[in-house]
Structure 1
């Protein structure tokens, strides 16, 4: 019943073209943007630049097809995490003048300082059925405001554990670049912000304008929301998005390894389908690939952190350090200690292993 309702809501939302307001200067797409203190500059810039380039001919930057305003409770300039500040355009007012209200997050530690006026504004927007967008840790803010209940949301793999530790009641998705769930849109930040903006431009203005924006930004083409997020190098190379997503899910649950059946269930496919895709893409089974991911992440930690080998073994889902050491030596031809020592001597580093793993048995 719930699934039927959500499908119906999604279809109605798609047919309506979001809110259908378009009241700001006659633009086809109008966006109000809220920046949190120490917001992520690249996520904000990527999102706005897609709108800017789609709004006018060439890169003349006139607000014709798109319009955007930076909203504020005090009109005080807002510092980004890079130290660069942005001056707001107008105070919080009527959210229904916009097609979307976008919250650009940043440093997790600044979320507690998000003002009550902003929270009230987001709740007012939600009550008026204005679609809400969370970029980077903006999803944290939307959840804090109580406007994500019953919705799926997307967070960066880098902040997935932070989200679980701070918020109850949601199971955030960290293996896609963005998610559109009816009138809530969330993305992982960074380059994915450009792809979410391109999705909105294509929806309201057209595919040509969306592609034009991305091409000027030296981005090949728009990616769909289900495209997997990049993360720590997995040690396996494949262009198959389904296989890459499965590998990313494995990486994000590395301390408590999931079975092939469970990963397939989370992806909405059968275990057999997943096995066939791995065989076609990598010529190995998912089980072997998942072990390779754990070993690759262990190697990454060994070479880039000062964590103990025991701690790395625990964090990478091995029974103990001896178990990890046996598998590590079988895979890389050296012990974890030797790998760490070699990494500290750049001239003596051993050659990188082949991208495709050799079968490693537990």
Structure 2
């Protein structure tokens, strides 16, 4: 009796292949959220087989890479040919001298860019791409929390900090945290389909995919806005405390009329944009006073007050005491 050799056909190649580069002390949540969306979109249910998507952690040499929380991820492959991936994602982490990639990894990213492979910056991965000279001429998303850190290093750039991620041609950057899941869902939607993207987020207990333009959450202010336009306006105000934006300029930046902006503020917060800006700047004054590192004169200059006497008048009207008295009360 003859045995017929019935070979099993090879599975089709993945529709979405992503290489992952981890910086030293990378942010574990940013990496995990991004990969989990790919994992859940790749197979039936949550079986995790890399069928429709594939993802590989790569490094100049295989071995462990420590995250910012101390947990370790193993790099399974060396860098090799970057064109074997549809995208290469760089996961950043703690900001500082030890956060960057090796020069070998940066050179590999430049070769990938030259070959036309789109690059992704997750969390502070945008810092790494900018340091490698790969964000020149591109819009770049940076968390509002790290915007000043970014400008200290790359003062010629104008980072976007009023939305959760930015897609600019073959550069994709996001603010970190949960936004990495939404950026991954954007890729899944683009290459596999909307149903797969929705399935991934649903299993992760995320209500819906957020568009890139969704305002970043976590505004450090007691102003709690529901209107997306108002949230974006507040984020713009937060980014420029030393030079307060007029309602006219803010409206122009957001692409609406001043009348529309003022109406939306009144409906959502029952205050004008100017009053919201004043409250935000006072919140920043209190935060700086509590740290105790800067003089009242320095704080006035950094928070958009014309001089110390102006700050003292506004602060006393709001708090009932001078800034120095408020600080002494906190210390006591």
Q: Is the TM value for this pair above 0.5? A: yes
Aligned counterpart in structure 2 of residue 47 of structure 1, from 10, 15, 34: 34
1:241 aligns with 2:228: yes
- Contact 2:63-2:76 at 8 Å conserved across structures: no
- Residues in 2 aligned to 1:44 and 1:83: alpha-carbon distance in whole angstroms: 14
Aligned counterpart in structure 2 of residue 331 of structure 1, from 287, 300, 318: 318
- Contact 2:26-2:99 at 8 Å conserved across structures: no
Cα pair distance change 1:25/1:72, threshold 3 Å: farther
- Could you say which residue in structure 2 is the equivalent of 1:284? 271
Cα pair distance change 1:224/1:338, threshold 3 Å: farther
- Could you say which residue in structure 2 is the equivalent of 1:306? 292
- Contact 1:309-1:336 at 8 Å conserved across structures: no
Q: Which secondary structure state, in structure 2, belongs to the residue aligned with residue 87 of structure 1?
A: strand
* TM superposition shift of 1:48: 0.9
TM-score by structure 1 length?
A: 0.82
- Residues in 2 aligned to 1:59 and 1:341: alpha-carbon distance in whole angstroms: 56
Which structure 2 residues correspond to residues 141-220 of structure 1 after superposition, within 5 A?
141-220=128-207
* TM superposition shift of 1:146: 2.0
Which structure 2 residues correspond to residues 28-67 of structure 1 after superposition, within 5 A?
28-67=15-54
Between stretches 306-315 and 80-89, larger displacement belongs to 306-315
Cα pair distance change 1:340/1:52, threshold 3 Å: farther
- Contact 2:23-2:99 at 8 Å conserved across structures: no
Q: Give the RMSD, CA atoms, in angstroms.
A: 2.2
Aligned counterpart in structure 2 of residue 78 of structure 1, from 53, 57, 65: 65
Structure whose alpha-carbon radius of gyration is higher: 2
- Residues in 2 aligned to 1:227 and 1:177: alpha-carbon distance in whole angstroms: 6
- Residues in 1 aligned to 2:39 and 2:257: alpha-carbon distance in whole angstroms: 42
- Residues in 2 aligned to 1:338 and 1:220: alpha-carbon distance in whole angstroms: 46
- Contact 1:309-1:321 at 8 Å conserved across structures: no
- Residues in 2 aligned to 1:302 and 1:329: alpha-carbon distance in whole angstroms: 14
* TM superposition shift of 1:209: 2.1
- Give a deviation string over 1:51-81, Cα, whole Å, max 9, x none: 1122222322211221100011011211111
TM-score by structure 2 length?
A: 0.88
- Residues in 1 aligned to 2:144 and 2:179: alpha-carbon distance in whole angstroms: 12
Aligned counterpart in structure 1 of residue 253 of structure 2, from 263, 266, 271: 266
- Residues in 2 aligned to 1:218 and 1:338: alpha-carbon distance in whole angstroms: 47
1:256 aligns with 2:243: yes
* TM superposition shift of 1:335: 4.5
Q: Which secondary structure state, in structure 1, belongs to the residue aligned with residue 142 of structure 2?
A: coil
Cα pair distance change 1:213/1:323, threshold 3 Å: same
- Contact 2:93-2:99 at 8 Å conserved across structures: no
* TM superposition shift of 1:337: 4.9
Between stretches 33-42 and 168-177, larger displacement belongs to 168-177
- Give a deviation string over 1:205-261, Cα, whole Å, max 9, x none: 222222222222222222111122234532212111111111111111112222222
- Residues in 2 aligned to 1:145 and 1:190: alpha-carbon distance in whole angstroms: 23
* TM superposition shift of 1:155: 0.8
- Give a deviation string over 1:5-61, Cα, whole Å, max 9, x none: xxxxxxxxxxxxxxxxxxx96222110111111111111111111111222223222
Between stretches 244-253 and 324-333, larger displacement belongs to 324-333
- Contact 2:288-2:294 at 8 Å conserved across structures: no
The count of corresponding residues between Structure 1 and Structure 2 is: 321
1:293 aligns with 2:280: yes
